[in-house]
A and B are shown apart, each in its own frame.
Chain A
Amino acid sequence: VTLNYHWIKDLGESHFFGMGIALLLVLIVSSLLLKSPVAGFYTLIPVVMSILLVYSSMVLLSISLGIGTSMFAAVAIGLGVDFAIHTIERMRSLYQEEQDMKKTFARFYPSTGRALLFNLLAIALGFGVLISSKVVPLNNFGAIVAISVVTSFIFSLTLLPALIMLFKPKFIVTESAKTQGSGLSASAGVLLVAVAGTGLLYQQDAQAADSPSGLPDANWVVEQINAVEEGRQSSSRLSMTLIDRRGKVRQRETISFRQYVGEEKQTVLYYLSPRNVKNTAFLIHDFPEVERDDDQWLYLPALRKARRISASDRGDYFLGTDFTYEDIKKEGKFEIADFSFKTLAKETLNGVDTIKLEAQPIDKKTARELGYGRQEIWVDTSNWIILKSEYWDIKLNPLKTLSVSDIRKIEGIWSRHNLKMTNHKTGHSSEFIFSDISYNKSIKNSVFTRQALSRGAPK
């Protein structure tokens, strides 16, 4: 009893002293990580608010500060600060991409907000189990921790973004925040890559093991193809050479811009020459929902207006080329819901190790829409870029061949510079040569609107 008394008599004082040290350390570490003392201060706000709310709850629920309950602050700070750091870091990187607070918010909540919610549920339920304990201090501890992480989460996703919106702190909005952020991301990235890499190796082995032929699983390969980095935005010049069966050559020069708004992909393409198609422009808003048709507009200079066009015929050929609208839109990737995939072989194509896949539309309706009954694809295993595709029509007659070459890294992103599609039925071919590719060039959001199409290509 004497021992307990000596233990407990200084508990209140040491609790607050300890909590002060913990908060100070969190402030220092956050400031260093985020390279801004102000950011460190912002990180503490949800945690401090949460702790104050817990003290109020303890008074209301008549829970006294004991040995068990005194530990809550350390746990609450440790867990609660996670939400704040995630929020700040993600908002910072999103703002640098969007340069618009509303768009930052629109992307933040469905992605990071959702992940944090799952994180919260896991932690709160985990500690919440203690509430069912018959040991009263543990019972109180479980309740307090659950309250503290829930309130930290709520403050991190409401108060913190509201303050950021209101004050637009420099650590979020300035350009240097991007490099600071990427520094943090880079260090976090190294760790993540190490961890994920282990998982990936395990997964790759597991996939290979799944297949009796020793070939990797086709769906996994397609996931790698679809995961190839393409940048949040890009701009490029595209030179199209169209050659008919008699060798008559037609030339088209275009410029195109692309950006992602959340998961929505927006692309606009302007014709620069020849004169008879100059200023013709094509705008597409491609939505992530499979069942939702794209919004498409075509600006015709002869009419001086943009008209809405139907997006239902994905297999129609794009403005006289041998690429379909779907080929253009997917940029060498697949709509997974449209196909069933099968790994055929490992092959060497022009000295490059590839995996050969087969893609078959899932049903006749999809085949009719796409205009393809079957595809064979050769994928470079070093970068997951498709090097070659053979296409068959819906009656399974040979239709087209795509060859991809001159694949180079631009600003760290693998970029296709030469695509040649040959139509075996018509003898017509289309060669696309990309140049001036940039993933960093600033593009105004207004470029991707119907109204902007009549203004001509941005210089």
Chain B
Amino acid sequence: MRPSLIASLFALIPSMSLALEASHSLKNQTSYGLEDKNWQQLEWRLDSELYQPLEQGEVIGIIRSRFDIEDKLSSDDALSNYANMSDPLFQDKHALLEVRELYWQAGFDSSYWRIGKQQVVWGEADGIKLLDVVNPQSYREFILDEFDDSRIPLWMLNAEFQLGDQGTLQALWVLDTSTHELAPSGSPYRFTSPLLVPDSSAIPEGVSASLAEASSPETRLENSDFGLRYTSFVNNWDFSLNYLYHYVDEAVVSASLLGSELTLTPDYKRSHLMGGSASSVFGDWIVRTEIAYETDRYHRTQAAEPGVDKADQWGVLVGLDYQGLTDYFISVQWFQSNVLGQTDALVKNRQENTLSLMVERNLFNETLLLKWLHLHSTNHGDGVLQPQFSYNLESDLDIFLSMDIFYGNEEGLYGQFDDADRISVGFEWGF
């Protein structure tokens, strides 16, 4: 974030009647790599949430500081995925200090406004992102950290308008052009799968390749993202209709061959996303579904040059939750993505299917939580298993023990991290 922006925010403070409330959360996580027999992470994270009434609403901010004794998950290089306005205040391979969220929110008779750096979550899916693409994602720990932590908050204007008794129209204007944060080279979570990055084995003999640095789109008015969502509740169904005109947060790496020099240039492209979601309850069962159509998506091809091809894609997700067993929560999801058009020689299949299973068991008046999460790609036969044990030791103190076990083909989305299996232990203390 620019110092001038911080200064202007702090300049507001004298005009407030100060009634600042603060609460904090201190989390420790220590992770040990099971394959490389080495510490992966010895991390301390402090989140301070600040609350201050302002005008007819309130200002809420979350300041995050993180310190990792290990240096495997971050690098000293500046993070190029952040727009200038969202840059962390400080960042190196061990530490990070950032204004994670900072917004003013207020509700009026038939409208609600939230202006500032924030997260917006769309859709009904758990852990699989089809409509939930307003905010980019941090892949610093791939998808292993909590959803709330992995989403990168953006500066935006978020307004909701009441339409009739049940309907709400949400309008988003996102000025922040930050994109996905990728794990740095040397990290156990750097992308190597040809599904995601250029395959070095596809480079012709005698040709040398160079990768230009990716940077997020410039912060200009015309680079803003715009979104609309209409939600309502009709005949026992919650549903939404969504539209987002945005920069896809995943860089498109295209290759150009000049003589014996292959230059790989990452770039960000715009797309229209149209979709919807719905959920309803039938006795003990809850049905959740999401569908999305995206234009102008780029997909990796097996050709060395340009290595990508443009095509529309669509995806569907159906989830079924069962709550018929006391203190159990069982959820299965099926997700399918489809590439349209005449694109040939795609690295991935035209149709990709993923299944997920989540089982949660609460014991002893919800002090002990046992959780099992399993994601599996049926196309590539790879996946990840995440058993977790969490215990509420005191009112505001939780301890946890978890494992993340990848399996399958190393060219797959999950299989690429087969060597990154880990066991983690830690605690979270609120005060």
Contacts and interface: CB of A to CB of B under 8 A. Distances in A.
A276 B428 contact: yes
B201 to A, nearest CB: 39
Contact of A275 (B165, B324, B430): B430
A313 B324 contact: yes
B366 A276 contact: no
Interface stretch (B260-268, B303-311, B388-396): B388-396
A451 interface: yes
Interface string A269-297: 00001111010000000000000010100
A454 B430 CA distance: 20
Given A303-B126, A313-B323, 14 more contacts: A273-B396, A275-B396, A276-B398, A295-B233, A295-B236, A307-B321, A309-B281, A310-B284, A310-B321, A316-B327, A317-B365, A319-B366, A322-B365, A449-B166
Nearest to A311: B281
Nearest to B105: A455
Contacts of A312: 283-284, 323-324
Contacts of B396: 273-276
Given A249-B395, A309-B323, A320 B366 contact: yes
B121 to A, nearest CB: 4
Contacts of B286: 307-310
10 contacts: A102-B165, A250-B367, A274-B395, A274-B430, A276-B398, A293-B281, A308-B288, A311-B281, A312-B284, A428-B365
B23 interface: yes
In the A-B complex, list the 3 residue pairs whose CB atoms are closest, starting with the nearest. Answer: A275-B430, A320-B366, A274-B396
A323 to B, nearest CB: 11
Contacts of A252: 395
B58 interface: yes
Nearest to B331: A307
B281 A310 contact: yes
Nearest to A252: B395
Contacts of B166: 449
B365 A320 contact: yes
Nearest to B109: A444
B365 to A, nearest CB: 5
Contacts of A275: 23-25, 396, 430-431
Interface string B276-293: 000111011110100000
B207 to A, nearest CB: 46
Interface string B1-24: 000000000000000000000011
Interface in B346-373: 362, 364-367
Range of interface residues on A (Cβ < 8 Å): 35 or more
A459 B431 CA distance: 21
Nearest to B237: A308
B323 A244 contact: no
Interface in A393-439: 426, 428
A59 B109 CA distance: 53
A455 B395 CA distance: 24
Contact of A451 (B168, B281, B285, B428): B168
B296 to A, nearest CB: 28
A304 interface: yes
A428 B364 CA distance: 9
Nearest to A306: B238
A249 B393 CA distance: 10
A242 B112 contact: no
Interface string A306-336: 0111111101110111100000000000000
A276 B285 contact: no
A301 interface: yes
B178 interface: no
B365 A244 contact: yes
Nearest to A315: B326
A202 to B, nearest CB: 44
A446 interface: yes
A301 B146 CA distance: 11
Choose among A295, A308, A315, A455 the residue with the greatest number of B CB atoms under 10 Å from its CB.
A308
A237 interface: no
B224 interface: no
Interface of A: 102, 242, 244, 248-252, 273-276, 278, 293, 295, 301-305, 307-313, 315-317, 319-322, 426, 428, 444, 446, 449-452, 454-456, 458-459
B107 interface: yes
B29 interface: no
B394 A250 contact: yes
Contacts of A295: 233, 236, 281
B231 interface: yes
Contacts of A316: 326-327
A295 B114 CA distance: 27
Contacts of B109: 444
B107 A250 contact: no
Contacts of A305: 121
Choose among B147, B279, B281, B327 the residue with the greatest number of A CB atoms under 10 Å from its CB.
B281
A273 B324 contact: no
B286 to A, nearest CB: 5
B148 interface: yes
A451 B122 CA distance: 11
Contacts of A302: 146-148
B215 interface: no
Contact of A308 (B110, B114, B280): B280
B53 interface: yes
Contact of B112 (A308, A313, A321, A455): A455
Interface string B395-410: 1101000000000000
A446 B162 contact: yes
Contacts of B70: none
B369 to A, nearest CB: 10
Given A304-B147, A450-B238, A321 B365 contact: yes
A316 B327 CA distance: 8
B119 interface: yes
B312 interface: no
Nearest to A304: B121
Contacts of A456: 60
B411 interface: no
B148 A276 contact: no
Contacts of A426: 364-365
Choose among A303, A444, A451, A454 the residue with the greatest number of B CB atoms under 10 Å from its CB.
A451
Contacts of A315: 326
Given A302-B146, A309-B323, A310-B286, A451 B160 contact: yes
Nearest to B122: A305
Contacts of B324: 310, 312-313
Nearest to A309: B323
A446 B107 contact: yes
B320 to A, nearest CB: 12
A321 B364 CA distance: 10
B119 A250 contact: no
A433 B42 CA distance: 41
Interface in B409-431: 428, 430-431
Contacts of A459: 53, 58
A46 B160 CA distance: 43
Contacts of B105: 455
Contacts of A293: 281, 283
A431 B282 CA distance: 33
A301 B148 contact: yes
Choose among B114, B367, B428 the residue with the greatest number of A CB atoms under 10 Å from its CB.
B367
A322 B165 CA distance: 35
Choose among B124, B321, B396 the residue with the greatest number of A CB atoms under 10 Å from its CB.
B396
Contacts of B162: 446
Contacts of B165: 102
Interface in B224-274: 231, 233, 236, 238
Choose among A274, A303, A449 the residue with the greatest number of B CB atoms under 10 Å from its CB.
A274
Contact of B392 (A250, A303, A452, A458): A250
